A = this chain, B = another copy of it.
């Protein structure tokens, strides 16, 4: 606002290049997720991004701000990537199993799992990160869809669900918790069969609990 006017004829006073900023964030994301916060050096980030070190400091101030920017950015991307497909075939067990599988697939994908580990690790050391994470908690598009699904089932009499939000959260947490344990927090791959089993067990529990 103060620097990017539209008037003609000003000398080219070298604006902070958004392209470089993006390159830095991309490089930092890769390295942070791969190696963790402390293990990643600003030098390495600058080199990976192909920029000078001062450029990094110019854009982000210090290493911590850059880290927070990376977390924020990555979270935004993930959120956007949550495609809202949730079939309603009239068979709650099948539908919820499928939904849980999608949850697993999303959360255990390498970058997201890495972000999760990284966030947990750095949580106590960056108060700002706590605020960031707290704000996000529960505001998940997928969970909202599952909530709606439970509401529909209740309306249709397929299930009897008093608190659809709670049910959606339970399905999600249950699936995730077991998925994370089985894959050593996302460091090991999850076979299709195992993923299905986990999702099915969770969905089955919910369906049984809420059978009319």
Contacts and interface: CB of A to CB of B under 8 A. Distances in A.
Do most interface residues of chain A lie in helix, strand or loop, or is the interface mixed? Answer: helix
A22 B5 CA distance: 11
Contacts of A154: none
A208 B210 CA distance: 7
Contact of A187 (B124, B184, B205): B124
A145 interface: no
Nearest to A204: B209
Interface of A: 1-2, 4-7, 17, 19-20, 22-23, 35-39, 47, 49-51, 114, 117-118, 120-125, 130, 133-134, 137-138, 166, 169-170, 173-174, 176-178, 181, 184-185, 187-188, 201-202, 205-206, 208-210
Given A173-B177, A206-B205, A187 B130 contact: yes
B6 A50 contact: yes
Given A121-B121, A130-B187, 15 more contacts: A2-B47, A2-B50, A6-B22, A7-B19, A38-B38, A117-B120, A117-B124, A118-B121, A120-B121, A120-B185, A124-B187, A138-B181, A169-B178, A174-B177, A177-B177
